[in-house]
Amino acid sequence: MPMGTTHRRLNTALSVPLAAGAIWLKWDAGFVVSLLAGYHFATYFMNPDLDLNSLGYKSWGWLRFIWWPYQKMLAHRCFLSHFPVISTLLRVIYLMWFPGLLLVLLGSSVRAAARETIFDWFPVVGPFLLVFIIGMILSDSLHVIFDTSSTELKRLFRGSRRHRHSHDQNFFDHHHQATPAWAERRRTRSR
2 close to 150: Cβ distance less than 8 angstroms: yes
Q: Is position 182 within any domain?
A: no
Q: Is residue 56 part of a domain?
A: yes
On whether residue 170 sits in a domain, the answer given is no
Indicate if the pLDDT at residue 170 is higher than 50: no
Q: Is the pTM of this model over 0.75?
A: no
Tell me, yes or no, whether 100 lies in a domain: yes
- pLDDT of 174 higher than 60: no
Do the beta carbons of residue 39 and residue 136 sit within 8 Å? yes
Question: pLDDT tens digits for 85-134?
Answer: 998 999 999 888 888 888 888 877 777 888 788 778 888 888 999 999 99
Structural domain of residue 78, as residue ranges? 4-162
Q: Is 150 exposed, middle or buried (0-12, 13-18, 19+ CB in 10 A)?
A: middle
> What is the band of 36 on the pLDDT scale with cuts at 50, 70, 90?
very high
Residue 82 counted as domain residue: yes
Domain assignment present for 75: yes
Residue 71 within any structural domain of the chain: yes
169 domain residue, yes or no = no
CA separation, residue 156 to residues 101, 148, 150, 167, 191 (Å): 47, 12, 10, 16, 17
Name the domain count of the chain. 1
